Amino acid sequence: MEEQVAYFSMEVAIDPRIPTYSGGLGVLAGDNLRSCADLHVPIMGLTLLSRKGYFFQKLDSEGNQMEEPTNWPIDIMDLLPVKISLPLNSREVAVQPWKYIVKGVNHEVPIFLLDTDLEENDPGDRELTSYLYGGDDRYRLSQEAILGIGGVKILKAMGYKPTRYHINEGHAALSIIEVFKELNDLSEVNKRFVFTTHTPVPAGHDRFPKNLVEEVLRGYLNEEEIDKLCQDELNMTALALENSHYVNGVAKRHGEISRDMFPGYQIDSITNGVHHVFWASKPFRELYDAHMPDWRNNPFSLRYAVSLPSKEIFQAHMKAKKELIDFVNRSKNTGMDYDVFTIGFARRFTRYKRPYLLFTDIERLRRMKIQIVLAGKAHPKDNEGKGEIKNVFKSINDLYPEVKAVFLENYDLNLAKLITSGSDLWVNTPQIPNEASGTSGMKSALNGVPSLSVLDGWWLEGNIENITGWSIGEVSHSEDTKDANDMYDKLERAILPMFYEDRDNWIRIMRHTIALNGSFFNSHRMVQQYVLRAYF
């Protein structure tokens, strides 16, 4: 039997033109499939079409976030002549897939994006694949049923016979039920499923009340099956844990935390990675091509960055930095300077990421010779996260004119490329232990940009103090005031003096960042680990 993996993810950041992702989870899914395409892994992706995307972010002058539906060119993909239907909320809902091809070096991976906006569907059901993470619990459970159950049915209708199902976060766990209906053998189901959990934050684990499950899935499941599935609620993580032969967290520390959260399950860890060619800026791609042409097929050879000439590393960086500063000045009229030390901070805006930490002491920051570029979206229902954006806007005003800082709207793949490669330092300040992995610092590492980060997620593995960057605070826990002071101390005493007065040493850090972290925290290494430990 030919091996084939079906990879289910509620969000996939496939292409900068396709805004069907909200953050790290989707970017990881995209990078994973890009590496699979390069490495000849027989896999296909399943996700929802999310016709109106996550949302397009606009910000007013006070930092109030307004969310607009995104318009994106769906017809860059092909609508396939296959339909299935499943009963949801006591109606039949037809589902049809679109196909997008991820082109690797010499292999291709298809992604199927499921769509319910079909004439035969009830008007409400036509909206079920419109908004990523939109709507209420019923909307969300319906979406998860379309992805999980609909996804398995679609694959079958197209003639695929996957030997493995990889569920990227619990959203697609209902696929287990559909596969069980087919095989009618729990141990066979178990052998086929691989589950990756992505967050220690409880709100990231979906649970649905039993009465809602009854309303949405009646017609698909009978009463007895519903009773078996949930006592008083349906817990997607529990369903996935219970029925997968391989479960992993996304960094070593996250594996440990997940084992504590879910005692009794064997949980491994595979540390996340990012796609090296996708995330390296053009100047760095050219630099690597010139000195280690093998790096595209074999990112491990980035370790030879130890012998890259200093001058060329810094020249490549200044080109990438110029792109960013020009973009900032063009779009925000900020008058930023190529030669001023530039801090990058961009990620989802939500309380645990502590975006306020950088701005704890405005007076102290004002005395530093720096400029700051920020970006990030808050989930439409995350009022705290939206408040964080407003607070940052206020800090940006307070810093002016001594320190120029800017918040760029609508953080997406393109902006992420620009900011992670064009900053001099990547700052990351989440509350321990909430950052499962974090991946944006890996993107900057591929561009020779070191991190100043809390010791959580991947940075526990990536930080070699004063060699690949710097740590903030303690390993065990976070404390706002202490962490902020530590961060400022390192900036004032180590980082800024090295950047301005000891450039050779600064470039040494850049070189080690590439050689030690770029060579390891990439999705080729990650996919190889999934293949060896989980897939085949």
- In angstroms, what is the minimal distance from the CB of 52 to ligand PLP? 18
Residue 169 found at the interface with ligand PLP (CB under 6 A):
no
Q: Closest by alpha carbon to 253, among 490, 8, 477, 9?
A: 477
Per the DSSP assignment, residues forming a β-bridge with 168 are 196
Interface size with ligand PLP, residues (CB under 6 A):
13
Residue 12 found at the interface with ligand PLP (CB under 6 A):
no
Choice between 166 and 347, CB closer to ligand PLP: 347
- In angstroms, what is the minimal distance from the CB of 193 to ligand PLP? 25
- In angstroms, what is the minimal distance from the CB of 28 to ligand PLP? 8
Residue 196 found at the interface with ligand PLP (CB under 6 A):
no
How many of the other CB atoms lie within 10 Å of CB of 290? 11
Measured CA to CA, the distance from residue 291 to residue 305 in angstroms comes to 8
Query: In b/e form, how buried is each residue of 307-332, taking b as 16+ CB within 10 angstroms?
Result: ebeeeebbebbebbbebbbebbeeee
Give the number of residues written for the chain: 536
- Residues 6+ away with beta carbon under 8 Å from 24: 198, 347, 348, 437, 438, 439, 440
- In angstroms, what is the minimal distance from the CB of 292 to ligand PLP? 24
Q: What is the DSSP code (8-state) at residue 516?
A: I
Q: Name the one range near ligand PLP by CB under 6 A: 67-75, 199-207, 310-318, 410-418.
A: 410-418
Tokens of 35: 């590496």
- Selected binder of ligand PLP within 411, 488, 530, 535 (CB under 6 A): 411
Residue 254 found at the interface with ligand PLP (CB under 6 A):
no
Residue 231 buriedness (CB in 10 A; 0-12 / 13-18 / 19+)? exposed
Residue 432 found at the interface with ligand PLP (CB under 6 A):
no
* Strand pairing category for 78-79 and 469-472: unpaired
Residue type, 130: S
Choice between 7 and 411, CB closer to ligand PLP: 411
Q: Name the one range near ligand PLP by CB under 6 A: 196-204, 317-325, 435-443, 471-479.
A: 435-443
- In angstroms, what is the minimal distance from the CB of 375 to ligand PLP? 8
Which ranges of 119-231 does DSSP label H, i.e. alpha helix? 123-126, 137-145, 151-157, 175-183, 186-192, 210-217, 223-229
Residue 413 found at the interface with ligand PLP (CB under 6 A):
yes
Residue 451 found at the interface with ligand PLP (CB under 6 A):
no
Measured CA to CA, the distance from residue 247 to residue 297 in angstroms comes to 28
- Selected binder of ligand PLP within 127, 144, 388, 412 (CB under 6 A): 412
For ligand PLP, the binding residues in 305-364 under the rule CB under 6 A are 347-348
* Strand pairing category for 164-168 and 193-196: parallel
Residue 459 found at the interface with ligand PLP (CB under 6 A):
no
Measured CA to CA, the distance from residue 496 to residue 254 in angstroms comes to 32
Q: What is the contact mask toward ligand PLP in residues 20 to 59, using x (rule: CB under 6 A)?
A: ---xx--x--------------------------------
Choice between 154 and 346, CB closer to ligand PLP: 346
- In angstroms, what is the minimal distance from the CB of 24 to ligand PLP? 3
- Selected binder of ligand PLP within 173, 378, 416, 432 (CB under 6 A): 416
- Axis-axis angle for helices 523-530, 24-38 (nearest 10): 80
- In angstroms, what is the minimal distance from the CB of 446 to ligand PLP? 12
Q: Name the one range near ligand PLP by CB under 6 A: 19-27, 147-155, 207-215, 328-336.
A: 19-27
At CA 518, angle to CA 513 and CA 521, rounded to 5?
A: 120
- Selected binder of ligand PLP within 438, 450, 462, 469 (CB under 6 A): 438
Looking at 227-338, which runs of residues are DSSP E strands? Answer: 233-235, 246-249, 268-269
Choice between 11 and 125, CB closer to ligand PLP: 11
Residue 436 found at the interface with ligand PLP (CB under 6 A):
no
Measured CA to CA, the distance from residue 508 to residue 494 in angstroms comes to 14
Give the footprint of ligand PLP on this chain (CB under 6 A).
23-24, 27, 347-348, 411-413, 416, 438-440, 443
